Amino acid sequence: MADKRVGVFLFLAISLVVMAPLYSPPEALAAPKKGTSITCEVSPGEVTYGESVTISGRLTDAETGEGLRRMIHVSYSIDDGKTWRELKIGLGKDIWTDEDGHYGPFKWIGIDHLPHPYLVKAYWDGDEEYEAAESPLRTLGVELPPDVPLEIINVGTYVLDDDYYVAGEVKNIGTTNLDSVGVKIGIVYYDAAGAIISVTLSFTGTRGIEMLTPEQKAPFEFEKEGAPEIDSHQVFIGSYDATAWVPYREFEIISHRRYSDDQGRLHVEGEVRNTGDMDATFVDVVVTFYGSEGKVVAFESGFTDPIDLGAGQTGTFHVYLWKDGSRSAMVADYSLQVQCFEKTKGPSSLTCSVSPEAIVLGEVVTVSGSLSPTLEGRMVTLTYTKPDGSTDSDSTWTDGDGRFEKAYEPDQVGTWSVRASWAGDWDHEGAESEAAPFAVEEDAVPPVIADVRRSPEVPDDGEPVAVTALVTDAETGVASVTLEYSVGDGPWEAVPMTRGTGDEWSGTIPGCRADTVVRYRVVAEDRAGNVAVEDRAGEYYSYTVVPEFATWAMLLAALSPLVVGLKRGALRHG
């Protein structure tokens, strides 16, 4: 029995050895994945802050070059490839290639300035059929324009407990208000070899000043752990955003003082009064702390008590430096700024003029003007006041220069006026222009009809006759021209004439029977309703239709003297 078990075991062992080369796991039997290639193009590669770039590319089968429809990713790095951030379409939509593998072009807007190039790449994760792929890196430089309205000042640097601190102020040196939510200050940390350690961008309005008026300063502060590895840094302006909003700043610091607590932390407290006529909510006091050399050490902020101050109301504030007293010991002076939630829209104005200032009824005036500040794509409403006191309205849109223009045809005689207005937008109050007057006079001058002609002069039996005339109207213009005709003593028929080249109008009288007398005249009307009739002072234009053989008879009659002359000449020679 034991020998039988040994034999069975040996048989199984030999079978496994023989069959082992014939067995492969499912992974080994599967076909290898196909290679892919993906490209990424950034155009242009250098822009000025505020401009946009387009991103496009293609995903293909690496062997056949055929396009692949797949979801891909586009990412960028601000720290030389250490970290990457993914770009999305619109409201966070994924990027897909089309049937031919193309994606884009997509517009990338709102790109912050950096003191070094962005890195941009496209990649995809692969699937069961194809391998993943990554494009070559592309660079994008974003430079600041020469007239940047911001200046970085009073930057101080210090190290506490292996933490690296950089603090300073940014000053609005421009002429317009800047929304601090759009003002970013950045910092690049470098190691001893000059390589980028990290990059940080921060809004100045996060804990500091919410809106920067011209000449105003806002504090900023950066803190980074791991001071020993930092050899140097660079502070830069990342972005800025002008706004027409006007902050409410009608506050007065009544009193303030500084003191240190038993832990050495610096405190600043005092009183502030709302001196304006508007109730202020979320009143905030921002304290900027300076060292002995005037450089910023830190800043803090705190709400007043009560947090809302009505017009004329006084509140208290209390702000202190966090952490221990190490930073407090560095402070030699401080400044105070008060802000609140309230702000008002920026003002705007409209001009409006009419050209010409006097017209004849039926003519058109052109209304034009401009919106200040210069805003494109804003709807302007034009309200016309008629001589009878009623009104009419129309609308138009401003162009890239803030200008607008619209033609209008008045429908009454008398004195008119027009005003331009707009409702305003998120940043600007609406505005209305002064009334622009203009006059509309009656047109009492009829059109002028001249050079009436027909063809043919002598029509044959059943042959139509084309009539042309030159018709002009210097006031309101020609509205219509009619060719009226009477066959024999029959009733008058009317045929509309059509305008040809220049002032020429033409119409056709249908063919008539032989021996018929046809009378005709030309009637013109202008846009003011004035009518002119050209009928040869009541005698009318006329012609008689002749039979077809009569035409030949007249031709022979005209040629007969010539024939007789030829015969006589022949006899003389004979």
Q: What is the pLDDT of residue 426?
A: 87
pLDDT of residue 573: 44
Q: What is the DSSP string of 129-177?
A: SB--EEPPPEEEEEEPPTT-SEEEEEEEEEEETTEEEEEEEEEE-SSSE
pLDDT at 284: 96
Mean pLDDT of 269-278: 96
pLDDT band for position 58 (cuts 50, 70, 90): very high
Confidence at residue 362, expressed as pLDDT on a 0 to 100 scale: 81
Question: Does residue 121 carry a pLDDT above 90?
Answer: yes
DSSP conformational letter for 69: -
Ordered domains of the chain (ranges, CATH)? 36-143 (2.60.40.1930), 150-243 (2.60.40.3230), 248-344 (2.60.40.3230), 355-441 (2.60.40.10), 448-549 (2.60.40.10)
**How large is the average pLDDT for residues 379-384?**
98
The model's pLDDT over 434-475, given as tens digits with 9 standing for 90+, comes to: 999 999 998 888 999 999 999 999 999 999 999 999 999 988
CA 479 vs. chain centroid, Å, equals 41
Q: Which residue carries 């508007």 as its tokens?
A: 278
Q: Which of 134-148, 384-398, 406-420, 554-568 has the lowest mean pLDDT?
A: 554-568
The tokens describing 47, both together, are 């822009």
Give the pLDDT of residue 557: 54
Q: What would the mean pLDDT of 490-514 be, rounded to a whole number?
A: 95
The strand pair at 118-124 and 138-143 is best described as antiparallel
| pLDDT for the residue 3 | 47
pLDDT digits (tens, 9 = 90+) for 100-117: 999 999 999 989 999 999
Share of the chain above pLDDT 70, in %: 89
pTM: 0.67
According to DSSP, residue 90 is labeled: T
| Mean pLDDT (the chain, rounded) | 89
Give φ, ψ of 423 to 5 degrees: -85, -5
Give the pLDDT band (50/70/90) at residue 25: low
Q: Is the pLDDT of residue 20 over 80?
A: no
So what's the pLDDT on residue 75? 97
pLDDT at 570 over 50: no
Range 333-341 average pLDDT: 95
CA distance 116 to 85: 17
The tokens 């599967």 sit on which residue? 30
Q: What is the average pLDDT across 261-271?
A: 94
Cβ neighbours, 10 Å, residue 344: 12
HSE, CB side, 13 Å, CA atoms: give it for residue 506: 10
Per-residue pLDDT at 28 exceeds 90: no
Least confident window among 57-66, 409-418, 565-574: 565-574
